[in-house]
Structure 1
């Protein structure tokens, strides 16, 4: 997972993030999802099969001239710059991380160039639906509410939700969160939805992961409800913070966002995803970016017909 690079990346923005704390906090931001959904309920993946295609169009039958791209031959991707190990900019100034490296491999299967641009997560889905980007890449949980506003590919990952606190905090688990706690979230995420709608608590929302994390470190908030992957990428041993609890969330798989009316592009990306699963690229990237991570036995990426090499036979 290139931990040394990620560690340095996490440290660079802290001074800026601390200065921006008061400006970044917002208690009057729009609620993320109006219908409460408990992201920690978990789910057997059979209940998500209605969102997973039975199979995909063969790659050699995909016509890339009919994908409705903003620029012919190029995928323009909206992503984040600060959320290792999934989506971030490395020290060479390149967009990388598990999600973005997977999408690069998929674009190569389709014979497409790929360009990344940084944005805030709270704006990303709207920008995809409004065709400012062809694709949104940001470990996006595919909630029912989001499906009403944007399209998604088949799933390529699952997630955990983490609780990040200072080492000396009295909050030790999700059960300790109450109206007396100052709880950080990143605006528009499923964690925002969980705190605001499921727990019905007032969250302290921030525009990005680094700022939320910095405010845990400096004691401005008591805890941060975060995606576990991003928490693990930012929490550094010796910085006074800890991941107090991490709970698996397979209720909604993660997928790439696409304009809901652009079915040809969704179909093409689904075909490419199955292709990089079958040739071992997906598994290689999982091992590289998530070393030692356990995968739920009831979860597989791609279409229902996807062949995951480690599970074949």
Structure 2
């Protein structure tokens, strides 16, 4: 597998990075459409993310749970996916789990709240959060300008990157090989859909979920799946005849939980809870548990990126 890391570019917009590398990052679901004709990740550059990352948070004991505007008092109703390991999925016992959802459970516990998960399709997730069918959207959502038109986001809890999944021995081995004539599969509505359509100017084959697009790679119906890297790693199994041909990391694009733009108190509370689970080591523990290639804080926080508010510190151990 080829792995390329894109360092934090303080003065270079994401569009320029994409143009040079022919790769985009963002493992997110829940897109509401193209950010622009050429830049699927507009709004996820360093300057923009710095603007949206809070300087600090409200102290945990100052959060008023009666002001959170929840659909059901005492419970966060969460829209999530059922088929995108290791981030968001249903386990063999029928429980919603995965990195994003376990982190959210830990955050809710800090606030003394329960969590109710409901399965949905990410094509409609942000609209459902906007119309308050869900209090929160949990789906490794890349925070872009287009999406901020629909919802607001918490501070970041993960950084974005994506991958190319192919059959073993496929001709397309890098993002630079994605050209006319290559059958490219994407999950509809993702940043990857935007990237292939608007940045590469190619027409992908769109699928409704991760399981279906991966099955089509295995069967040879498509040549490549342009995927969120975490979901690619969750799908590709030994003996399947598939491989992650290339993976690109971009710390400029972080992922966050989605909340209605009309519910700032809930955003503030979640930001407080996120800082709390970072400060007590829970974030690092869960990151190491669910991302086996990130066992230490160094791997969990690439140069130029860290989770939570600007004030929170990650424990050294």
* TM-score, structure 1 normalization: 0.86
Partner of 1:134: 135
Unaligned segments of structure 1, at least 5 residues: 1-29
Match of 1:305 among 295, 311, 316: 311
Partner of 1:182: 183
Aligned-pair Cα RMSD in Å: 1.9
- Partners in 1 of 2:218 and 2:241 — Cα distance? 7
Aligned with 1:310: secondary structure?
coil
Give matches, 1:225-240, under 5 Å. 225-240=226-241
- Partners in 2 of 1:266 and 1:127 — Cα distance? 16
Q: Shift of the alpha carbon at 1:251?
A: 2.7
Give matches, 1:56-75, under 5 Å. 56-75=57-76
Kept in 2, the 8 Å contact 1:156–1:254? The answer is yes
Partner of 1:211: 212
Q: Shift of the alpha carbon at 1:70?
A: 0.5
Aligned with 2:316: secondary structure?
helix
- Partners in 1 of 2:35 and 2:140 — Cα distance? 21
**Alpha-carbon distance change, 221 to 131 in structure 1, aligned in 2, over 3 angstroms:** same
> Are 1:121 and 2:122 an aligned pair?
yes
Kept in 2, the 8 Å contact 1:141–1:252? The answer is yes
**Alpha-carbon distance change, 42 to 170 in structure 1, aligned in 2, over 3 angstroms:** farther
Unaligned segments of structure 2, at least 5 residues: 1-30
What is the CA deviation profile of residues 96-136 of structure 1, one whole-angstrom value per residue up to 9, with x for unaligned ones? 00000000000000011100000011010000001000000
Kept in 1, the 8 Å contact 2:79–2:119? The answer is yes
Kept in 2, the 8 Å contact 1:45–1:251? The answer is yes
- Partners in 2 of 1:40 and 1:152 — Cα distance? 15
- Partners in 2 of 1:129 and 1:286 — Cα distance? 28
Aligned with 2:245: secondary structure?
strand
- Partners in 2 of 1:93 and 1:136 — Cα distance? 19
Kept in 1, the 8 Å contact 2:167–2:218? The answer is yes
> Are 1:252 and 2:258 an aligned pair?
no
